[in-house]
C-alpha cells in the first residue's frame, strides 16, 4: 500500500523567504505526482502535476521536482507572500488510478 509522508507538518516564515516542502512516497511505481493547495474549509486547487517520466514542473513562483527512484518530491515556492498561507498536499497516482495523499504541510507566511 502506498504511503505518502510530508515534512514538515507546519512551517512559518517571514514574507519574502523561499519555501521548501518535502514529500516522500514508499512505492516508486507511480504514474504521476500532484501538488495541491487547500485553504481552510475549502476544496483542493491543483498547483502542479508531474508525470512519472518528468523530473520537474514549473508554474510562476512554483517549482516541483520529482525523483521517482528515491520516492521524493520537493515543492519550492519562491519569494513567499502572505497569500501563500495554506495547506499544501502532495498526492501520487498509482497504476490503479487512485490518488494517495500525504497529510499536508500547513504554511504560514508572516507579513
Partner 1 sequence: GAVVSQHPSWVICKSGTSVKIECRSLDFQATTMFWYRQFPKQSLMLMATSNEGSKATYEQGVEKDKFLINHASLTLSTLTVTSAHPEDSSFYICSASAVGGGGTDTQYFGPGTRLTVL
Q: What value, to the nearest 5°, has the Cα angle with vertex 79 and ends 15 and 53? A: 135
Interface with partner 1 includes 104 (CB under 8 A)? Answer: yes
Interface with partner 1 includes 102 (CB under 8 A)? Answer: yes
CB 57, min distance to partner 1, A: 13
Q: Which of 46, 70, 81, 108 binds partner 1 (CB under 8 A)?
A: 46
Question: Whats the size of the chain, residue-wise?
Answer: 111
Separation CA 79–CA 84 (nearest Å): 10
Q: Which of 11, 22, 65, 94 binds partner 1 (CB under 8 A)?
A: 94
- The residue (of 34 and 73) whose beta carbon lies closer to partner 1 is 34
- A 10 A CB-CB count for 70 gives 10
Amino acid at each position: 500500500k502506498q504511503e505518502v509522508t510530508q515534512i514538515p507538518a507546519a512551517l512559518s516564515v517571514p514574507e519574502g523567504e523561499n519555501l521548501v516542502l518535502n514529500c516522500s512516497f514508499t512505492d516508486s511505481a507511480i504514474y504521476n505526482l500532484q501538488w495541491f493547495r487547500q485553504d481552510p474549509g475549502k476544496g483542493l486547487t491543483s498547483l502542479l502535476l508531474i508525470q512519472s517520466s518528468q523530473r520537474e514542473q514549473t508554474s510562476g513562483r512554483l517549482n516541483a521536482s520529482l525523483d521517482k527512484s528515491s520516492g521524493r518530491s520537493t515543492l519550492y515556492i519562491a519569494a513567499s507572500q502572505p497569500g501563500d498561507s495554506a495547506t499544501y498536499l502532495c498526492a501520487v497516482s498509482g497504476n490503479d488510478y487512485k490518488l494517495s495523499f500525504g497529510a499536508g504541510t500547513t504554511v504560514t507566511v508572516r507579513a
